[in-house]
């Protein structure tokens, strides 16, 4: 392996580890030593690739949002006109119950970005706009957002739902929160499920009126 390739691989390993560390512990919850340990390198090696923890955080945010865009594109290409229901179901199940280190950057990092410098906020904003465009301009699908306004609403609902559901201690309440959001985001699916659960009434038999005899 060439030295340049090895250097790039090490940098990427540090970046991935930094993303995991920041999603799980927040910017203030982990230092350079912890990030280096997570990546399996020394602190000195960390500084060879990133001049500060803030720089690593900024790039980890961009990397995390890039992963989200890749995920959206995957659902759009693999599920076609069912991509939005499939994506919502995935987000409100897998991304709700996974370890925080594996959580979605859009859900776990915004509170940290809000306290970061303007450069980091601008980088996050640019990526967020790209995600909204990708959602709004995706393939036609049941209940899928078809405008930027609808995409903002849907993304905010997904993020808020996972944040609230993760914050409560009672699994039943967490399920109620995610279930309510799913009904809001997938009204067609919710209606179909409601109809399927409704008892079907057997058609009433009209009795023939007795014929009059003269």
User: Which pLDDT belongs to residue 190?
Assistant: 78
pLDDT band at 17 (very low <50, low <70, confident <90, very high): very high
Instruction: State the DSSP code for 98.
Output: S
Residue 99 CA to residue 69 CA, distance in Å, equals: 20
Both tokens of residue 79?
């599920």
Q: pLDDT digit string (tens) for 156-167?
A: 999 999 999 999
- Comparing 191 with 153, the larger pLDDT belongs to 153
Rounded (to 5) percent helix, strand, coil in the chain: 75, 0, 25
pLDDT band per the 50, 70, 90 thresholds, residue 214: very low
Taking residues 148-157, report their average pLDDT: 97
Per DSSP, the three-state class of 27 is helix
Q: What is the mean pLDDT of residues 146-154?
A: 97
Query: How would you classify residue 80: left for phi > 0, otherwise alpha for psi between -120 and 50, otherwise beta?
Result: left
Model confidence over 59-97: pLDDT tens digits? 999 999 999 999 999 999 999 999 999 999 999 999 999
Task: Specify whether the CB–CB gap between 66 and 128 falls below 8 A.
Answer: no
pLDDT for 52 beyond 70: yes
Q: Where are the domains of the chain?
A: 53-190
The yes-or-no verdict on residue 200 having pLDDT over 80 is no
Q: Residue 201's pLDDT is what?
A: 56
Percentage of the chain exceeding pLDDT 70: 92
Q: State the pLDDT at residue 202.
A: 53
Class of domain 53-190: mainly alpha
């Amino acid at each position: 392996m060439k030295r340049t390739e090895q250097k790039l691989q090490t940098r990427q390993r540090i970046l991935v580890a930094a993303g995991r560390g920041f999603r799980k512990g927040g910017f203030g919850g982990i230092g350079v030593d912890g990030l280096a340990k997570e990546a399996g390198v020394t602190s000195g090696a960390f500084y060879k690739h990133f001049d500060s923890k803030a720089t690593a955080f900024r790039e980890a945010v961009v990397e995390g949002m890039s992963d989200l865009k890749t995920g959206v594109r995957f659902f759009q290409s693999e599920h076609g006109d069912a991509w939005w229901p499939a994506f919502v179901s995935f987000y409100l199940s897998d991304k709700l119950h996974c370890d925080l280190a594996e959580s979605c950057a859009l859900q776990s990092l915004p509170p940290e970005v809000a306290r970061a410098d303007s450069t980091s906020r601008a980088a996050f904003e640019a990526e967020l706009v790209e995600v909204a465009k990708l959602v709004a301009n995706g393939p036609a699908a049941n209940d899928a957002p078809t405008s930027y306004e609808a995409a903002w609403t849907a993304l905010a609902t997904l993020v808020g739902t996972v944040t609230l559901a993760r914050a409560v201690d009672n699994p039943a309440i967490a399920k109620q929160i995610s279930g309510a959001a799913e009904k809001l985001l997938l009204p067609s699916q919710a209606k179909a499920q409601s109809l399927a659960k409704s008892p079907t009434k057997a058609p009433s038999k009209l009795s023939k009126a007795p014929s009059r005899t003269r």
